[in-house]
Structure 1
Amino acid sequence: MKVPNTLLAAEVTRFAYDGAPLLLRDVRLALGEGTLTAVLGGSGSGTSTLAKILAGWALTGGRNRFEGHLELAGSSTRLAFHGTPDDPRLSLGAWGRHVAFVPQRAADLLTGASATVGEEIAFTLEHRGLPRERMRACVEEAARAVGLAAHLHRHPAGLSGGEERRLALACAIVGEPAVLVLDDPAASLDADGRAALARLVDAERARGAAVVVAGSCADGLARCADHWILLDGGTAVAAGRPAEVLASAAFGRSGVLPRDPAEPGYPDRTVSSDGAKCHDGPEVSSASASHSGSSATSSAASEGLETREGSRGAPLAVLDRVTFAYPGTASDGQRSVLIDADFEVRPGEVVAITGPNGAGKSTALRHLAGLVRPGSGRVRIGGQDIAGLPAGRVAEHVGTLFQEPRDQLFERTALREVAFGLRIAARGRPRVPRDVAERRALEALRAVGLEASAGEHPYDLPVSGQRLVALATVIARSPRVLLLDEPTVGLDRHGLARLESVVAEAAQEGCGVVLSTHALGWARRHAHRVLALEGGRFVAA
């Protein structure tokens, strides 16, 4: 494909990580000034790897194998990849001055050493020796673009998952790169964050940057692209304008989600065929999105999700007038996230919690898991106040899927990972024999579609695979309460179907399921109740 004013040309003949099978082959793309290109594919198709190659992250030495060509051209520079297949070495410092990257796991971009959000955004500019006043103006402009202008003095460690992604986006654009590569950029963003992302992409294109978005969902941002590349099995199986690729047989066979689960009611959107602006409609606030549509109960029922008779029994998990505030620092002060919050889930019930980034959704789930203690109020599991109980005791009845799956993965293989929790003897119960634990672990992996990956290291799986392994570790123990923090993030069509099956089966077996999500359209289809966290309290959505 010939592209006028090409900024980055890439030809990936072959690529494989150290000791791993071939992952990408025969993929070519050219990125022109002011263009938006979407690289789409199901889990394991190679979209994230291609994004890392374009950003230079996969070509910094080591034993990765790369055959191909990369060339970055601009008004003042021309850089080309000069490594060898056995030593794919690229100067990340030189390349990174022109190509900015936000990885799928946003935290991987952050230094972890900055005391404030503002310092984190300024990190790149400090290394370029920008004058202090100019640096301050650039930081403030980038923070405004992602909706963090009021949070410049907060500590990055206190940000929610969505706020952390906004911070990573600000760090990427502050240096005005020629090429911006975004891997699953809308992950964990609320409605306002997605609108800000669309405006950000429009602004980057307007100043002449080439933008690439990679992912497994044909969301609103991808549908505004000039060009799509569809990957399957590590190779490009279709390419062209969005409408052309959507209509192809290859797209139907791929695991790409044809619509964004975050869209209320999954509305079908007209595909842009001319690279139109991504932000071409009114802003949708998280509050208005949360209150649109009809009752979640009737929606869930229409999808065949039935509440067991036992759901009218005693609640399995309760927050009773819970108030909680994070300590904060001298710069940002104390931050209250739950204020006299009341919540309950009953047997066989699926309850979805929505709300803007930083509203306290994850904090509410951590209370139910016994991982944090309320400043006031009570948390009850199975009718018992868990105040004073260690988190391990609570975990005998409550299973938790964290927002970041790597926070709960540590074993050498997926099978060992899932079996580990089964072999920990609960108080008063005999230890589960190894063969029984492995059999149940395989059943859990089969339920999430990863039986064939039982012998793989969890970190060698794509992020979606890591999330599903973590889900398997939770459901293998058959908890009475199942807590899922942003479970849909990063999942392709097949992974989302597995998640839906797990949630429905858990409810049918009498488990109480609580999930936090920004995928409002999906939640209304698969939850009995949808609640919004507003001002520290739960309200009907």
Structure 2
Amino acid sequence: MALIEIRGLSAAFGDAPVLDQLDLSVEAGATLAVLGGNGSGKTTLARHLSGWSGSDAVRIDRRTLAERPIAERASLIQYVGQVPGRHLSGRAFSVRDEIAFGPENLLLPREEIARRVEAALVRTGLVPLAARDPFTLSGGEQQRLVLAAALAMEPEILVLDEPVSNLDPEARGEVLDILAELAGRVTLVWLDTSLALLRRLGGRQMRLEGGRLNEVEPGELAPDAGSIATQEKLVALPTFRAAATEPAAASLGAAAMPAVLSVENLSFGYAGAPPLLADLSFRVGAGEILALIGPNGAGKSTLLRLINGLLKPAGGRISIEGFDTRKLRVDELARHVGTVFQEPEYQIFEPTVRREVEFGPRQLGLARAEIDSRRDRVLARTGLAAEAGRHPLDLTHAQQRFVAIASVLANAPKLLLLDEAQRGLDALHTERLEAILAAEKAAGTATVIISHDLEFVARNATAILDLGIR
């Protein structure tokens, strides 16, 4: 008898059907990898599997999750979703306490809780961060924390919805190694847009398409031959390493290009922590795309917040189009720079996509005709024209990301900051994003991107700034 049995599961995301009489059986200890594009229903399936969306069509060990007490359910199955911040308890003041939160609520003996917490910290490489406030961690560090908290529950089933999308390549490999150790002892269900990741995971491979699951064709599982070409492209890109001892990267941007962004001897650190950035200098010219790379916690997102004025540097100078950012308010900076953050839903607040995209141009005091023109152009560029009347939070995560991108593009900034904008996008949506980057490059927009996807960097960046551990 299979541990997981699904028979005739149908479900919708908003008004759109995504699962259509879906059937699935998974044996205890098996590894199942589910490949699906954005909007295919992966997260909906994961939520049903985990009991977040109740359905009698899903049975675990011949019983529905609704039939089980909450403590039994939590011990049986754990879910790690795409947005780690949504999984944090909000009741823990340290990483260690966050990991302990679940086992404590199972009323386990104190010694058993301590054993599980220490094992999870070691497994996920979080020992150095054990005393940190979970909400001060980077997105990638939070993703490892959420996985650690799930592992500490020692579940029989682990459902993982794009669990490494926030992680740098090294951390991604470490998580895959952790899961390889669990194979055969824990039933693993991994849902992702990346076939390359699913190849590495192994196990049974299925594709979610048209509301149904089908086996992935054997030919699709052949190793990817593009890694050598990617490495050659990366080597050819001008690269500055912030950890190096050579002089500051004053020539990182092309000398012939006017400097849209100039960073000089920038220093910054958070209270109670070692300096994060020290004497960092670089420039980005019109039409250039600078990629920030480096491990989780290296300061990539912090650097973007320093550039857009949300954080203030401890030392040094940042100028955008010749303006010293220290002398401009955040709203004045917003006329020159547009930022797309890692989690788009945190920067979306209007009741419709149309109003969200119009918000920036309205604040600029543009004429109604110009607002309408800009709105319609960026909605078309981002593939959102048909969604203009919908509430942004009723859209898929990928569509929400493009709402945030459209809202920024409507302001026509000279400097574009994208924090993991490609994360979790399938091939179709990635192509759309790359077309936008190419068009902005041709128009002379300076762009800074953060990405752990080195193939994406190789295809789109004109230079690299590596913020590797110093």
The verdict on a shared fold, with TM-score over 0.5 as the criterion, is: yes
The aligned residue for residue 71 of structure 1 is 59
**2:7 counterpart of 1:11:** yes
Give the superposition deviation at 1:92.
5.0
In structure 2, how many angstroms separate the alpha carbons of the residues matched to 1:21 and 1:516? 32
The aligned residue for residue 357 of structure 2 is 418
Aligned residue identity for 1:476: A
The aligned residue for residue 45 of structure 2 is 50
Q: CA distance change for structure 1 residues 105 and 227 in 2, over 3 Å: closer, same or farther?
A: same
The aligned residue for residue 80 of structure 1 is 64
Secondary structure of 2:218's aligned partner: helix
Give the superposition deviation at 1:183.
0.3
Q: Is the 8 A contact 2:40 2:211 kept in 1?
A: yes
1:169 maps to which of 147, 163, 176: 147
In structure 2, how many angstroms separate the alpha carbons of the residues matched to 1:310 and 1:432? 33
**2:338 counterpart of 1:393:** no
Aligned residue identity for 2:138: S
Give the superposition deviation at 1:260.
11
Give the superposition deviation at 1:192.
1.6
**2:433 counterpart of 1:499:** yes
Secondary structure of 2:57's aligned partner: strand
Aligned residue identity for 2:146: A
In structure 1, how many angstroms separate the alpha carbons of the residues matched to 2:171 and 2:228? 16
Cα distance per residue 1:447-495 (max 9 Å; x no partner): 1122221122111111111111111111111100001111110111111
Q: CA distance change for structure 1 residues 154 and 492 in 2, over 3 Å: closer, same or farther?
A: same
Aligned residue identity for 2:40: S
Q: CA distance change for structure 1 residues 82 and 162 in 2, over 3 Å: closer, same or farther?
A: closer
Tell me the TM-score normalized by structure 2. 0.91
Which protein has the bigger helix share?
2
Q: Is the 8 A contact 1:40 1:215 kept in 2?
A: yes
In structure 2, how many angstroms separate the alpha carbons of the residues matched to 1:385 and 1:260? 46
Q: Is the 8 A contact 2:265 2:281 kept in 1?
A: yes
How many residues end up aligned between the 2 structures?
457
Give the superposition deviation at 1:184.
0.5
In structure 1, how many angstroms separate the alpha carbons of the residues matched to 2:255 and 2:218? 45
User: 1:184-333, aligned counterparts within 5 Å?
Assistant: 184-206=162-184, 208-236=185-213, 238-240=214-216, 243=218, 265=229, 293-296=234-237, 312-327=256-271, 333=272
The aligned residue for residue 74 of structure 2 is 96
**2:26 counterpart of 1:31:** yes
The aligned residue for residue 123 of structure 2 is 145
Q: Comparing 48-57 with 213-222, which one deviates more in the overlay? A: 213-222
In structure 2, how many angstroms separate the alpha carbons of the residues matched to 1:514 and 1:420? 23
In structure 1, how many angstroms separate the alpha carbons of the residues matched to 2:301 and 2:225? 22
Give the superposition deviation at 1:508.
0.8
Give the superposition deviation at 1:129.
1.4
Aligned residue identity for 2:218: A
- What stretches of structure 2 of length at least 5 have no aligned partner? 240-252
Aligned residue identity for 2:215: A
Secondary structure of 2:310's aligned partner: coil
Q: Is the 8 A contact 2:300 2:450 kept in 1?
A: yes
Q: Is the 8 A contact 1:311 1:348 kept in 2?
A: no
Secondary structure of 1:336's aligned partner: coil
In structure 1, how many angstroms separate the alpha carbons of the residues matched to 2:115 and 2:450? 36
Cα distance per residue 1:275-308 (max 9 Å; x no partner): xxxxxxxxxxxxxxxx99521269xxxxxxxxxx
Identity over aligned pairs, percent: 35
Q: Is the 8 A contact 1:316 1:347 kept in 2?
A: yes
Cα distance per residue 1:15-63 (max 9 Å; x no partner): 235x63433112111222222111111111101100110011112xxxx
Give the superposition deviation at 1:388.
3.5
Q: Is the 8 A contact 2:392 2:403 kept in 1?
A: yes
1:136 maps to which of 107, 114, 118: 114
The aligned residue for residue 442 of structure 2 is 508
- RMSD (CA atoms): 2.5
Higher relative contact order structure (alpha carbons within 8 Å, sequence separation ≥ 6): 2
Q: Is the 8 A contact 1:414 1:458 kept in 2?
A: yes
Aligned residue identity for 2:137: L
The aligned residue for residue 351 of structure 1 is 290
Give the superposition deviation at 1:235.
2.8
Q: CA distance change for structure 1 residues 140 and 516 in 2, over 3 Å: closer, same or farther?
A: same
**2:442 counterpart of 1:447:** no
Q: Comparing 180-189 with 460-469, which one deviates more in the overlay? A: 460-469
Give the superposition deviation at 1:514.
0.6
Q: CA distance change for structure 1 residues 343 and 259 in 2, over 3 Å: closer, same or farther?
A: farther
Q: CA distance change for structure 1 residues 223 and 459 in 2, over 3 Å: closer, same or farther?
A: same
Cα distance per residue 1:36-94 (max 9 Å; x no partner): 111111111101100110011112xxxxxx5x522212xxxx532569xxxxxx86554
Give the superposition deviation at 1:335.
3.4
Secondary structure of 1:501's aligned partner: helix
Q: Is the 8 A contact 1:310 1:348 kept in 2?
A: no
Aligned residue identity for 2:82: Q
Q: CA distance change for structure 1 residues 292 and 419 in 2, over 3 Å: closer, same or farther?
A: closer
